[in-house]
């Protein structure tokens, strides 16, 4: 039997989603009951189309252990960052060289410049997998990560051409951000936690209080300089994956903690290019020689979306054959529309 599936997060999942969020407490999936409730509601209204403007939608996916119904991981796609009410805020990381012939001194400087966009990129985020399920052979991390690209490929018209991933930087065990202590706190008087929490709902204070001028990073503490654009240990695996599928460091960082922003155009992302819409041909008895794919179906009602990792065979114009248990789990029938992303 298929042991795991990915589906849309649904009303009633709040407690389980909060339990998953506690393991990372990220910007997109914080350990906060009120925010989690809002996230579940926004995702549900996105899948149903109740949020009329596609740019305002956000889609949250749950990785579920089918036998118990337990959510063990999540990921999400925010259709667009940046609008009139809440711009996409970032910090450009610029390089500058200075030389004085008089004293024969040469300096290399890193410059920071705050930027804003009201029509920003699509963002992928909220990627969490419970620690006890992080086994390489299970491919669960691959499943919950890749499903976002499958979904974007299947609905290109709903998303921006640029896709962004914000990675967490090195933080102290207590969550302290050295860059925030050296920069953000001085201009806002707020703690990192309070500013980060407020920014999810209102970014006016950032635009009003952050300096408009370029800042020389060399005037900051060495601890603050050392984390600018660096990836924390907990997200190095994600960085490696992003680079492999077409993302690159955008020389932009998070204004609060200095975490790097990785971007790619939709047509540069290999997983988007490899995803295709086709039809289910028939169930099959899988063999060890069969390749695997993330195969997804969509429904007009809950759970709206379902995907499983399964052996499959490409039957050309006839569509794809999938393993018997996946055929049953996805409730397929001959010629049923499916979306397929091969997994190497």
> Are 130 and 180 part of one and the same domain?
no
The pLDDT of residue 136 is 66
On whether both 68 and 28 belong to a single domain, the answer is yes
* Domain end (from 223, 243, 274): 274
Q: Are residues 226 and 331 in the same domain?
A: no
Per-position pLDDT tens, the chain of length 344: 899 999 999 999 999 999 998 887 676 788 889 989 999 999 999 999 999 999 999 999 999 999 999 999 999 999 999 887 788 999 999 999 999 999 999 999 999 999 999 999 999 998 999 988 888 678 999 999 999 999 999 999 999 999 999 998 888 888 788 999 999 999 999 988 888 778 877 888 888 898 888 999 999 999 999 999 999 888 888 899 999 999 999 999 998 889 999 999 999 999 999 999 999 999 999 999 999 999 999 999 999 999 999 999 999 999 999 999 999 999 999 999 999 999 97
Q: Which of residues 239, 274, 309 is at a domain's end?
A: 274
Question: In terms of domains, do 238 and 329 share one?
Answer: no
pLDDT of res. 203: 81
Domain boundary residue, one of 245, 274, 303: 274
Determine the 3-state secondary structure of 15 from DSSP: helix
**Is the same domain home to 7 and 91?**
no
Q: Is the domain of 210 the same as that of 111?
A: yes
Displacement of CA 192 from its chain's centroid (Å): 21
The whole-angstrom separation of Cα 17 and Cα 63 is 10
Strands (E), the chain: 4-8, 58-65, 70-78, 88-100, 105-117, 122-129, 162-166, 215-216, 248-253, 260-265, 276-284, 291-298, 305-314, 320-323, 337-343
Number of domains, the chain: 2
Range of the domain at 238: 82-119+161-274
Whether 28 and 144 share a structural domain: yes
Beta bridge partners of 110: 95
- Judgement on whether residues 86 and 222 belong to the same structural domain of the protein: yes
Residues 113 and 34 in one domain: no
Q: How far apart are CA 163 and CA 272, in angstroms?
A: 11
Same domain for 201 and 89:
yes
- Residue for token pair 């010629």: 335
* pLDDT for position 176: 85
CA–CA distance, 100 with 342 (Å, rounded to integer): 56
Task: Give the pLDDT confidence score for residue 207 in this predicted structure.
Answer: 84
Residues 299 and 178 in one domain: no
pLDDT for residue 310: 97
Q: How much is the pLDDT for 3?
A: 94
User: Do residue 102 and residue 213 come from a single domain?
Assistant: yes
Indicate which CATH number applies to the domain containing 296: 3.40.630
């Amino acid at each position: 039997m298929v042991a795991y599936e990915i589906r849309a997060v649904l009303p009633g999942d709040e407690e389980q989603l909060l339990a998953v969020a506690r393991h990372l407490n990220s910007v997109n999936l914080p350990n906060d009951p009120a925010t989690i409730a809002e996230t579940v509601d926004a995702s549900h209204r996105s899948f149903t189309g109740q949020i009329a403007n596609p740019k305002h939608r956000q889609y949250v996916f749950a990785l579920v252990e089918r036998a118990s119904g337990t959510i063990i991981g999540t990921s999400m796609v925010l259709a667009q960052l940046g609008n009139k009410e809440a711009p996409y805020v970032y910090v450009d990381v610029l390089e500058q060289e200075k030389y004085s012939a008089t004293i024969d001194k040469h300096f290399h400087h890193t410059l920071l410049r705050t930027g804003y966009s009201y029509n920003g990129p699509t963002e992928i985020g909220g990627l969490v997998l419970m620690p006890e399920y992080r086994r390489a052979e299970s491919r669960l991390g691959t499943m919950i990560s890749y499903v976002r690209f499958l979904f974007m490929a299947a609905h290109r018209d709903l998303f921006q051409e640029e896709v962004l991933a914000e990675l967490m930087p090195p933080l102290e065990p207590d969550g302290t951000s050295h860059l925030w202590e050296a920069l953000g706190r001085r201009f806002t008087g707020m703690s990192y936690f309070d500013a980060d929490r407020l920014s999810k709902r209102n970014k006016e204070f950032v635009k009003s209080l952050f300096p408009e001028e370029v800042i020389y990073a060399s005037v900051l503490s060495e601890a603050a300089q050392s984390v600018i654009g660096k990836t924390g240990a907990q997200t190095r695996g994600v960085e490696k994956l992003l680079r492999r599928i077409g993302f690159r460091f955008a020389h932009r960082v998070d204004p609060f903690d200095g975490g790097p922003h990785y971007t790619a155009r939709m047509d540069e992302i290999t997983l988007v290019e490899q995803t295709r819409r086709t039809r289910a041909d028939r169930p099959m008895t899988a063999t060890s020689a069969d390749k695997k794919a993330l195969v997804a179906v969509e429904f007009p009602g809950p759970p709206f979306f379902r995907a499983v990792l399964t052996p499959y065979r490409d039957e050309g114009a006839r569509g794809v054959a999938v393993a018997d248990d996946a055929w049953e789990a996805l409730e397929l029938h001959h010629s049923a529309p499916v979306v397929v992303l091969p997994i190497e």
